[in-house]
Amino acid sequence: MSTKRRLLTATGGMALVTLASRLSGLVRDKVVAYLLGAGLVADAFYTAFRIPNMFRQLLAEGALHAAFIPTLAELKSSGDEGRSRAFVRAMTSLLLLALPVVVAAGVLAAPWLVHLFAAKFAANPEKFALTVRLTRLMFPYLGLISLAALAQGVLNASDRFLLPAATPIGLNLCIVAGTVTGVVVFGGRAEWMAAGVLAGGFSQLAIQWLGCGRVGLPLLPGPGVLRIPEIRRVLLKMAPTVTTLGIYPLTVLLSTRFASEVGEGAVTCIYNASRLNELVYGVVIVQLTTAVLPMLAAEKLASEAAARGTLGFAMRLLSAVALPSTAFSVVLATAITGAFFGGGKYGVSAVHTTAAALVMYSLGMPFLGLTKLLASASFAWNDTRSPVIASIVNLVVFFVLGVTLTGPFGVQGVAAAASGGQLANAATLLWLDGRHRRLPRFLDILPAVGRHAVAAIGLAAAGFYLNRLAPVPLRTSVRSLAQLSAYALLCGSVYLGLLVALGSEEWREAREFLRRRRAA
């Protein structure tokens, strides 16, 4: 199977599974919004939940994946199954030694962490104390999900993408169960929500642990932590990678700090806006960048020209998905927010505040996706310096904009700062990767991006007039969800029709891919 077909198959299959996962996540967030609204308990839970999640994205799914997957992919391509198995077992031992220390440190440092990322909570002792308590209860989730991330790396390097993409469904269902139990049965005990997070982390680890056994690389402790050279390579690559891939989760968490300065409920609104933005980002873009890293790492060993061609195809595929998604989210931000979160204790004011932030987050989505693609290319070429430089630029721009825009614009300013940082990150990586000759020719990319942009403008116009003729109700109901779904289908049809009319290469490639699959 060609690399293009493998990339389309992996991305498409994961997208369908992840769509179910993201929808379950929206159900989770809807349950929390309906039962708790945008207030003290919800702010405390989301802040506490984001703290271990920041370390998860920074260390486990960020630096560990970027260093571990290419190394394992190289070992597997050499055909030495014994070395691959020994490497995985040594990595398992390393995590089992390190994670208890990290988790214990996080539990002890919980008050400091809460003060660092939500300093204004200290003005309300009840809110601050609840956030600290929930942080301590949920921090062991970091240990569970870090081992699950190692298992995901093993499965991804073995071209197994669907199972890891499905495991967040278990987490979301466990949090729903914990929220309903805590609010409905025990009258508002947020500790049950933390219990749901821990149960969900265990389910994610258990399912993928079984999958690793099936591919012949069981996640069992073994010797060699200090003497296997691949372990030292991973650790050396992880250090700068923490800076590179950690910028996005760090900006998200700093967004919480900025939002905590806006007022009650702002943390919940900014969290829900980022979750809505991540629906498309997580369904397609994350899956694309996840699939492309091991493929680029393996292909680059055989032919750098072929690897550049695969990167160019991935960039065009990113553009074909990210631009229409951004257009739809910007034009229908209020309708989307109302349909998914409106109702119960989540009132109209919270809907409009969340929608304003969603507009700004959506504008940064194409640049966030491009940043992850270009960072994957750098890692495949064993270059960790360029992404570090771009990440520092990102953080500086985000911080300056956050300080400048949060006061006058509230949560919308926080989201705008995050998107501005992503734009700066993508621009810097384009410049640096271009200097190192890792990029495909821009003449192979820009015409496709132009066609996607024109078609996305047509989609935006269709969405605007549809919602103006028949506005989507700003509360969750069968009618609002059905109406929003119908608008999505109609706008998607307009977009695809314009792509066909403009002679889009991606349309022809997708059609040829589907034809070959039916023939097979």
Give residue-wise pLDDT tens across range 493-513.
999 999 989 887 766 665 655
| pLDDT for the residue numbered 518 | 46
| pLDDT for the residue numbered 244 | 57
Nearest to 190 by CA among 312, 12, 39: 39
**Which residues neighbour 344 within 8 Å (Cβ) at sequence distance 6 or greater?**
33, 34, 35, 37
165-168-170-176 Cα dihedral, nearest 10 degrees: -150
**Helix (H/G/I), strand (E/B), else coil: 106:** helix
| pLDDT for the residue numbered 263 | 81
- The CA–CA distances, whole Å, from 108 to 87, 137, 242, 404 equal 32, 11, 22, 33
Nearest to 289 by CA among 403, 460, 426, 170: 426
Do residues 15 and 320 touch, judged by C-beta distance below 8 A?
A: no
Which letter, b or e, does each residue of 415-451 get, where b requires 16 or more Cβ atoms within 10 Å of its Cβ? bbbbbbbbbbbbbbbbebbeeeebbbeeebbeebbeb
pTM: 0.74
pLDDT tens by residue, 137-153: 999 999 999 899 889 88
pLDDT over 50 at 520, yes or no? no
Give CA–CA dist 104/108, Å, rounded: 6
DSSP string, 30-48: HHHHHHH-SSHHHHHHHHH
First to last CA, the chain: 12
Give CA–CA dist 68/84, Å, rounded: 11
**Which residues neighbour 55 within 8 Å (Cβ) at sequence distance 6 or greater?**
102, 106, 142
Q: Where does the pLDDT of residue 445 fall: very low under 50, low under 70, confident under 90, or very high at 90 and above?
A: confident
Do residues 281 and 365 touch, judged by C-beta distance below 8 A?
A: yes
| pLDDT for the residue numbered 519 | 47
Do residues 352 and 334 touch, judged by C-beta distance below 8 A?
A: yes
Please report which residue ranges of 303-347 form alpha helices under DSSP H: 304-331, 333-341
Q: Between 486 and 2, name the one with better pLDDT.
A: 486
Do residues 118 and 256 touch, judged by C-beta distance below 8 A?
A: yes
DSSP-derived letter for residue 441 is P
* Selection from 8-12, 76-80, 173-177, 367-371 with the highest mean pLDDT: 173-177
- The CA–CA distances, whole Å, from 167 to 173, 284, 358, 376 equal 11, 16, 26, 23
**Phi, psi values for residue 343, rounded to 5°:** 110, 165
Q: What average pLDDT does the chain have?
A: 84
Do residues 197 and 144 touch, judged by C-beta distance below 8 A?
A: no
Q: Between 397 and 249, name the one with better pLDDT.
A: 397
At 191, which amino acid appears?
A: E
Please report which residue ranges of 215-303 form alpha helices under DSSP H: 229-245, 247-260, 266-280, 286-302
pLDDT over 90 at 414, yes or no? yes
pLDDT tens by residue, 51-82: 888 887 777 666 777 778 778 877 887 777 88
pLDDT over 80 at 364, yes or no? yes
**Which residues neighbour 236 within 8 Å (Cβ) at sequence distance 6 or greater?**
none
* Selection from 3-17, 155-169, 236-250 with the highest mean pLDDT: 155-169
Q: Where does the pLDDT of residue 333 fall: very low under 50, low under 70, confident under 90, or very high at 90 and above?
A: very high
| pLDDT for the residue numbered 104 | 96
Arithmetic mean of pLDDT, 390-408: 91
**How many other CB atoms are there within 10 angstroms of residue 73's CB atom?**
25
